[in-house]
Structure 1
Amino acid sequence: MQILHLGDLELTLPLAAAVGTWLLAARSWRAAAAWAVLYGGAVGLVGGSKIAYLAWGVDIPMLDFKAISGHATGVTAVYPLVGYLLCRHAGGRAGLAAMAAGLLLGAVVAVELVRQDEHSAAEAAAGWMLGAGVSVGTVYQTEPAGVSLNLASAASAALVFMVAASLMQSAHVGYWMIKVALALSGNARPYSWDSCG
């Protein structure tokens, strides 16, 4: 599997829903609220930047910046939290090390996005920083107590992941972003780019 697919919305959104479910089931209220606000805000910024470009061609030419990378954002927001939740029961250091590994994975994906000409360096870096803010901000709300690992939390998260993954198979997000951009701008066609993930 190509590493960039780890950032596909069909995977990161169900994982994000599973993370939120785990935090709620573990009664980690502050972390769950932080996750909802931070992740929701990040998705809004990524989607908003893409719609702004598709609708009106909003960009920063000197940085070759058209839109925040959704793949870099998704990987760096979600995978550090998944690692943290799976490893935190082994101690604070294990949880934080797993989170750091997730942040490193996000950096690898960001570099690969640039290497494969999917995004400019500025777009990938913006996505990595946005995702890192989400994951680090959420983990900050869990420490020093951490999040409990129990069967109910894990089962709830797994169930939500499966349902969300199934629903995402028929959610054509890119198509709807173009439709929204055209409706907002009144243009017959969206501004185009070579590739934006």
Structure 2
Amino acid sequence: MHMWLLITAFGDCSVLLPVFLVTAAWLISRAATRRNGLLWILTVFICIAVVGLSKLMYMSWDIGIPGLDFSGFSGHTALSSLIWPLVPALLIPERNVLLRRTAIALGVLLAVGVAASRLGLGVHSISEVILGGMLGFGFTAGFFFKLRNTTPRNSAPAWQIGISLLLPLLLCYGHTFPSQQLLKDIAISVSGHDTVFNNAPGTRY
């Protein structure tokens, strides 16, 4: 159980959102990668919106897939599958082929580990994790098709980028973003109900 908690923390929005914002800042700060930065922001926000909408549909009106025990995409899984493989793809120059591919592979493995941790902790059904992974990796695959000029020749030194990404991990790892409570508040507001639908109270998010 303790191992799963250590792994699942890498999929919490308290870590993923700062990493996403730092990556976006590096990309937008340079003209050569500004297009990728804007596409990166749009992709992540659409993924978050899809995950959030799927959860709100269930919380607000009990709309899910009962036969699959599905009450919303696993947010940890979906965002990990999108962010961890793409961060190295966006920030490591294409000329560093081995390093880039290795880092992307490690990102994929970390995302798979986060997905496994959601099952190990019992906070999501198999369908929610699998479909969350399909959603995240689907966005990742689509992004790769659009990816161009990932890092210009005058990009910042690797140590600067590394430190800027390490800081969110050191400062935010282990914290929990209140996404579940936020979604509950929104669901109650839009549905007009006194409470939300939840087939596993206090665990599904």
TM class, shorter-length? 0.7 to 0.9
1:134 deviates by: 3.0
1:72 deviates by: 0.3
1:109 deviates by: 1.7
Instruction: Choose 83-92 or 21-30, whichever is displaced more.
Output: 83-92
What is the RMSD computed on CA atoms of the aligned residues? Answer: 2.9
SS at match of 2:64: coil
- One-letter identity of the residue aligned with 1:5: A
TM-score by length of 1: 0.82
- One-letter identity of the residue aligned with 1:116: L
SS at match of 1:101: helix
In structure 1, the residue matched to 2:84 is 79
Contact 1:25 1:153 in 2 (8 A): no
5+ residue gaps in structure 2?
Answer: none
Choose the corresponding residue for 1:158, options 145, 164, 167.
164
TM-score by length of 2: 0.79
Distance 1:139 1:71, change over 3 A: same
Identity of aligned residues (%): 26
- One-letter identity of the residue aligned with 2:132: G
Q: Structure 2 CA distance, aligned partners of 1:187 and 1:153?
A: 51
5+ residue gaps in structure 1?
Answer: none
Distance 1:40 1:154, change over 3 A: farther
Q: Structure 1 CA distance, aligned partners of 2:72 and 2:42?
A: 21
Distance 1:42 1:18, change over 3 A: same
Distance 1:123 1:48, change over 3 A: same
- One-letter identity of the residue aligned with 2:75: G
Q: Deviations over 1:83-140 (max 9, x none)?
A: 3345436523432332232122212221221232111111111211222233333343
Choose the corresponding residue for 1:142, options 130, 133, 147.
147
SS at match of 1:193: coil
